Structure 1
Amino acid sequence: MSNKVLIVDDAKTIRQQVNFTLSKGGFEVIEAVDGLDGIEKLKANTDVKAIVSDINMPNMDGLAMVAAINSNASLPHPPILILTTEGANEMVQQAKKAGASGWIIKPFKPEVLLEAVKKLIS
Structure 2
Amino acid sequence: MRALVIDDSRTMRRIIAAVLHTLGFETVEAADGREALDVLESGTEVDLACIDWNMPVMNGLEFVVAVRENRGWRDVTLMMVTTESEHDQIVRALAAGAHEYLIKPFTPDAIRDKLQLLGLVEFQESA
Name the structure 2 match of 1:89: 87
Instruction: Point out 4+ residue stretches in structure 1 off by more than 4 angstroms.
Output: none
Higher relative contact order (CA 8 A, sep 6+): 1
Q: Partner of 1:48: helix, strand, or coil?
A: coil
Structure 1: 5+ residue stretches without partners:
none
Question: How far has the Cα of 1:47 moved from its partner?
Answer: 2.7
C-alpha contact (below 8 Å) 1:50/1:81 kept by paired residues: yes
Name the structure 2 match of 1:116: 114
Which has more radius of gyration? Answer: 2
Choose from 69, 76, 90 the match for 1:71: 69
Separation in structure 2 between the aligned mates of residue 100 and residue 87 of structure 1, nearest angstrom:
15
Name the structure 2 match of 1:33: 31
Separation in structure 2 between the aligned mates of residue 47 and residue 76 of structure 1, nearest angstrom:
12
RMSD between aligned residues: 1.5
Separation in structure 1 between the aligned mates of residue 43 and residue 27 of structure 2, nearest angstrom:
11
Separation in structure 1 between the aligned mates of residue 104 and residue 56 of structure 2, nearest angstrom:
18
Q: TM-score, with normalisation over the residues of structure 2?
A: 0.87
Matched residue count: 120
2:10 aligned with 1:12, yes or no?
yes
Deviation sequence 1:11-67 (CA, Å, 0-9, x none): 111001001111112110110110001111122344311110000000000000000
Counterpart residue identity of residue 70, structure 1:
R
Identity score, percent: 32
Q: TM-score, with normalisation over the residues of structure 1?
A: 0.90
